[in-house]
Amino acid sequence: MHTENSADDRTILVLNSGSSSLKFGLFRHSGDDESLLLEGSAEGIGRDDGSLRIKAPDGQVLVQQERVLESQVDALQKLAQVLTEQHHARPSAVGHRVVHGGPHLREHQRITADVRRQLHDAVHFAPLHIPPALALIDEAEKIFDDAPHFACFDTAFHATLPPRAAHLALPRRYAEAGVMRYGFHGLSYESLVTRLGADLPARAVFAHLGNGSSVCALRDGQSIDTSMGLTPTGGVPMGTRSGDLDPGVLLYLMRVEKLDAGALETLLNRQSGLAGYADGESDMQALEKTRSSGRCQCVTRARCVRDRRAQDHRRLCGVAGRNRFAGVYRRHRRAQRRDSQARVRRAGFHGANGKRSGGQGEGDSHRRGKADRAALPHAAAANADRLTFTLP
């Protein structure tokens, strides 16, 4: 039997939908504070090595399954079952991370029929992300039909991009049709701006590292330039995504290889980036472990990905200004973080490890901000380590 929410003690469910994962957290809001009730993630959705893990705030594992998860909907249904079994109150609100809202949805907002229609219209901007997000929203609204649902857009944080950064070198009519630089990982960056608070320099550069990676230049806490563009495929090379390419490469693939749009999409989003460099392996940590197995060539080629990340970081440092920079590396990938720190230091920056913001460990970033916003952007990413770089 579910417990009920009082007016001053509300429960908020946050769903962070990725291309092959689903992270979630359940939080209780009371007064001006939020406390974690449970959290978890479904990784490797659609793969044979998929897993589902749900744990309590003290780290106690409530669910641990190594299984094939066909979709994010499967993981959500299991989460709903656990909420019932643990006698948690039904959520007062549900927040959904949505990667791309197209040219018209540039603010976090409650999901209505019109918002849903505009999301359907924007599918071609992020065909790998928006359809599963819509399916998840549909299922969540069925399961939690008595709670308002909110869409939190990764692109919203970058709505402050100036025209020089947002516009592509194409005729104006394409920009009017929405073909422009949007930027992504905005929920991650927005969360970090809030968490750093007064410690955030006026000019800063953030880096989000993981299977999807990007770099963002900020001035006075607002995005002024970023590595990703029209879609999450652009920018630095990622786990399986190509990042930026010479447009002539695409023309070559169309003319010589006879690839159509679907084949190009699969190539650029599923078979490129680190996986393209390293014969299909998209995990940098796994590659580092192959040093002793004679695959050093793959490791060497994979370092090209890190070189590109460092190049984009230095470029955006120039955009942000040359007085002071802060580089914040999201995701708990220690090898990548150490490597990025060393490369930026060689470029003339001094780096220092920062303590994990909040001091309460994984999931603490979800508990920042006001009550209504807790169902929105700040619950998008967790467990950030901080590096700060300053020019001498």
- 11-47 per-position pLDDT tens digit: 999 998 876 788 999 999 877 778 899 999 988 887 7
Distance CA 122, CA 201 (A): 35
Residue 201 has pLDDT above 50, yes or no: yes
The residues spanned by each domain of the chain are 9-153, 161-390
Residue 295 has pLDDT above 60, yes or no: no
Burial zone of 286 (CB within 10 Å; 0-12 exposed, 13-18 middle, 19+ buried)? exposed
Q: Using one digit for the tens of pLDDT, what is the confidence trace for 3-15?
A: 455 555 689 999 9
| Mean of pLDDT values over 191-204 | 90
Beta carbons within 8 Å of 191's beta carbon, 6+ residues apart: 365, 368, 377, 378, 380, 381, 384
CATH architecture type of domain 161-390: 2-Layer Sandwich (3.30)
**What is d(CA 250, CA 333) in angstroms, rounded to the nearest whole number?**
32
Residues with a known catalytic role = 154
Write the CA distances from 26 to 31, 173, 186, 320, 363, integer angstroms. Answer: 16, 44, 21, 36, 10
CATH architecture of the domain 9-153 equals 2-Layer Sandwich (3.30)
Fold match, 9-153 / 161-390: yes
